[in-house]
Amino acid sequence: MNNTKFIVRKAAVLGAGVMGAQIAAHLVNANVETLLFELPAEQGEPNANVIKAVENLKKQDPAPLSSPGRAASIQPANYAEHLNLLQDCDIVIEAIAERMDWKRDLYEKVALHLGEHTILASNTSGLSINELARALPETLRHRFCGIHFFNPPRYMHLVELTACVESDASMLDNLESFLVTYLGKGVVRAKDTPNFIANRIGIFSMLATMHHASRFRLGFGAVDALTGSLIGRPKSATFRTADVVGLDILAHVIETMRNTLPHDPWHKYFIVPDWLKALIDSGALGQKTRRGIYRKVGNEIHELDIARNEYVLSRATVEEGIRELLKRKNPAEKLAELRNDSSPQAQFLWAIFRDVFHYCAVHLEAIADNARDVDFAIRWGFGWNQGPFEIWQAAGWNEVAGWISEDIASGKSMSDTPLPDWVKQAARRTDQGENRDISWGVHMPYGSYSPSLNTFRPRSTLPVYRRQLFPDRLLNERAEYGVTIFETDAVRMWHTAGEPGREGITDDGVAILSFKSKMHTIGNDVLDGIQQALDEAERNWRALVIWQTEPPFSAGANLQKATERLKSGEPPSAFSLLARKLRKSAQSAVLKAARSLHLADALMAGKLAEVEAMVAQFQQTSQDLRYSMIPTVAAVDGLALGGGCEFVMHCDRAVATLESYVGLVEAGVGLLPAGGGCKELALRASQEAKDGDPFPRLRNYFQNVATAQLGKSAEHVKELGYLRRDDPIVMNRFELLYVAKAQAVALAEAGYRPPLRARSIPVAGSTGIATIKGLLVNMREGNFISEHDYLIGSKIAHVMCGGELTPGSLVDEEWFLELERTAFIELLATEKTQARVEHTLKTGKPLRN
């Protein structure tokens, strides 16, 4: 490979099946021009197969595309007519069915059409990369490798990068850098062994779970109740995950392990159970056929009862003692008690932990360079909170190893293969030789253990990782977030300059503000902290970035006063009950919206003046972010709802990860945005107006607010108008702070001055209000909205249109802010809004009243 700069201008994906189409979707999400190939249709339009696959992308949930409009950027192609187009592609990704013969036939067909520097990569989930490479000319093999995306490609962080013997090292480095920054992935270098790392361990974990479920006579529902969030794994747990993946695909991966791993000590367990074969034979393939291990009957979930060979209502529960045990924070105590508890559920859990630990230890040297790669592969590819080695080490490396050995000796484990010698002999190190605490395990602050090298391997030194100022961490890796400037109970202001040993950290003069509240909610204390940070930044810093150490950016504002009232024994108001409910569930956008009701308790106590003062403080903080003498940048990842969204809108720049979900959703519980959100949308509508008329744009903004629209990606958020067109979107969340700081520095270097205050904003006025009300009247009379919906919509229209003024009248920002405050208090005081809150408490759904 030459040393010219690696740029991906154009890509092609071979195969328009489920994975191929979604890989193409994610490439266009990243603004990569993409061709999607499939066999030509037998009749009619030759590209019909691809066109159908692209249309299906628009209908899928979760959405593979960041916006449905992105589908138009995927160029359909077929093998009969368009192979010549491959010569202009920088990378070609093969994603056809997992058949060695089919893949090799395709390689022979496309090889002659590839450009001189085109990289060819296979998305195979487990076939040998070296075997596949043999179908290629020797001159092409140095540009060939495996690049295994996990399903769904947009959302799953993991990509396994696997070399063949001839793969060029610089090509692999370039490809890894592209995957990390431009596609937002976490890359693990896998060895060329069957099913690589994640599927090898993850599928074994599922097989072990099936085996022990049968041993302890636990039904599917009981197993999923035990193996989901209670032990730090996805809510879909084991068998629901199988339904989502597809039972046919699961069976295929198991068969691959059986056929390609004949000498694996656990080989006898690599078998598709009879019940799984029967489901597949009957066409019950899981979620895609609406029937698998589970099926939905009306509003109820039924599970397969193997003994009766029929579906029964799923009512599985976790024993209370086990549930309480799993809530304990001490991992050593948890595993010890599970091992010593004789109940079937406890023994089942200990057994699946033990056998996965055992399997990982025996195979680590063969499948991965080090333990870090195994743990990240399982975390990023299967959604575990911690990888298997992390769980083992946290529970006490030597003690757990002793328990595993005892169970091997007594015949309780799935294999009698002893633990490898390195488990007891090599995984013991002092902290970088400084003779501090002696630690046991595979993860140390300076690296993760590699059995093949008998040393601890540091992280990759590729330049792309300098962009990750605070990368995803493993057990024993320090999380030290810079140098504190000031700190309160609510916020911490800090900077990254002067940290020893941190390459890429420079004295850029940028201060960072992070919230300390749960879900980074906003209360008076956070508002005070933001204003203090702005004062400090104006005196001593070049710019201020608001960034949270973990997502979300902000779920709204907190209800601390409400929860304190509950604890004090006072009669709970509707909103204090809401606070309790919100702690239990943040899934519903309506419930999330209610987090913004930080003023409710004061109102319920009749303190209307205090309410208005609190609203005014929020509005003033938003305005301060806009008009501070230093640039302000919001670094957004995950949720930014209600007040959080308003802060994003008022910063000079917002930098958002692709998976940012932003919106003014207060209308879901009968309110309107009160922190400057309505004002800001009215201002933007006037700035975007054609011929001086803000109403056409304002009408769209009104609809978003009135229907509590939540952006489903940063791209969608831009379409809704909560992000500006020039606000950058970052694909990798671990690069977010780096990019946000760069934006802040660029603004400062350009001689930043705040924008002039808007004092002549044209309003849509009475005509705009009347037009919107006319629409609302029609919806009310058609029984699409209720009287209270009409009131809410009318209030929002009144504020956003600037009140009952002559259209085109000029007002300032304070005019809109006063309208916001008044309308918010009026709605919050209505009985029907309070009733909506009560209903939300009981059902988690909005009330139509």
- Express each pLDDT in 355-367 by its tens digit: 999 999 999 999 9
CA distance 546 to 146: 38
CA distance 753 to 543: 11
Going from the C-alpha of 104 to that of each of 19, 94, 122, the distances in angstroms are 18, 11, 11
- Express each pLDDT in 472-496 by its tens digit: 999 989 888 999 999 999 999 999 9
Per-residue pLDDT, 568: 37
Q: Any idea which of 290-304, 499-513, 650-664 has the lowest mean pLDDT? A: 499-513
The strand pair at 438-440 and 158-163 is best described as unpaired
Q: What is the amino acid identity at position 255?
A: E
Residues present in the chain in total? 849
- CB distance 464 to 432 below 8 Å: no
- CB distance 26 to 67 below 8 Å: no
Q: Count CB atoms within 10 A of the CB of residue 434.
A: 7
Q: What is the amino acid identity at position 174?
A: N
- Three-class SS state of 456: strand
Choose among 457, 644, 619, 440: nearest CA to 554. Answer: 644
- Express each pLDDT in 241-282 by its tens digit: 999 989 999 999 999 999 999 999 999 999 999 999 999 999
Tokens 């990289």 appear where? Answer: 119
Mean pLDDT of 591-600: 46
198-450: CATH topology is N-(1-d-carboxylethyl)-l-norvaline Dehydrogenase; domain 2 (1.10.1040)
Mean pLDDT of 642-664: 97
The phi and psi torsions of 161 (rounded to 5 degrees) equal -105, 120
CA distance 362 to 423: 9
| pLDDT at residue 599 is higher than 60 | no
Provide the token pair at 608. Answer: 């209307």
CA distance 455 to 445: 13
Residues 276/277/281/286 CA torsion (nearest 10 deg): 20
Mean pLDDT of 170-174: 97
- CB distance 825 to 608 below 8 Å: yes
Domain regions of the chain by residue span: 10-190, 198-450, 484-828
CA distance 781 to 570: 43
Mean pLDDT of 638-660: 97
Per-residue pLDDT, 590: 41
| DSSP 3-state percent helix, strand, coil across the chain (nearest 5) | 50, 15, 40
Per-residue pLDDT, 439: 63
| pLDDT at residue 397 is higher than 60 | yes
**Would you list the DSSP string of 307-361?**
TTTEEEE------HHHHHHHT-S-HHHHHHHHHH--SHHHHHHHHHHHHHHHHHH
Instruction: Point out which residues pair with 656 in neighbouring strands.
Output: 636, 729
- Express each pLDDT in 444-464 by its tens digit: 998 999 999 999 999 999 999
- Express each pLDDT in 79-110 by its tens digit: 999 999 999 999 999 999 999 999 999 999 99
Interior angle at CA 654, CA 653 and CA 656, nearest 5: 155
Burial degree of 43 (CB within 10 A; 0-12, 13-18, 19+): exposed
DSSP-derived secondary structure letter, 288 = G
- CB distance 666 to 707 below 8 Å: no
CA distance 515 to 528: 12
Interior angle at CA 99, CA 162 and CA 104, nearest 5: 70
Mean pLDDT of 13-39: 97
- Express each pLDDT in 774-812 by its tens digit: 999 999 999 899 999 999 999 999 999 999 999 999 999
Q: Count CB atoms within 10 A of the CB of residue 11.
A: 24
Spatial neighbors of 686 by CB under 8 A, at least 6 apart, are 694, 761, 762
Provide the token pair at 646. Answer: 């308003």
- CB distance 197 to 164 below 8 Å: no
Residues 424/425/428/429 CA torsion (nearest 10 deg): -170
Q: 10-190, superfamily in CATH? A: NAD(P)-binding Rossmann-like Domain (3.40.50.720)
The alpha helices in 4-96, defined as continuous H runs, are: 18-29, 48-57
Give the architecture (CATH level 2) of 484-828.
Alpha-Beta Complex (3.90)
Choose among 485, 561, 482, 483: nearest CA to 521. Answer: 561
Tokens 């993946």 appear where? Answer: 245
Provide the token pair at 385. Answer: 């909170």
Q: What is the amino acid identity at position 352?
A: I
Choose among 292, 288, 254, 253: nearest CA to 273. Answer: 254
The rounded Cα 725 to chain-centroid distance in angstroms is 22
Q: Which helix (H) or strand (E) holds 81?
A: none
The rounded Cα 779 to chain-centroid distance in angstroms is 36
Proportion of the chain above pLDDT 90, given as a percent: 81
Proportion of the chain above pLDDT 70, given as a percent: 90
- Express each pLDDT in 717-748 by its tens digit: 999 999 999 999 999 999 999 999 999 999 99
Spatial neighbors of 452 by CB under 8 A, at least 6 apart, are 365, 369
Going from the C-alpha of 137 to that of each of 1, 253, 458, the distances in angstroms are 16, 29, 36
Quickly state the pLDDT bin for 527 (edges 50, 70, 90).
very high
Choose among 801, 825, 829: nearest CA to 815. Answer: 801
The pLDDT mean for the chain works out to 90
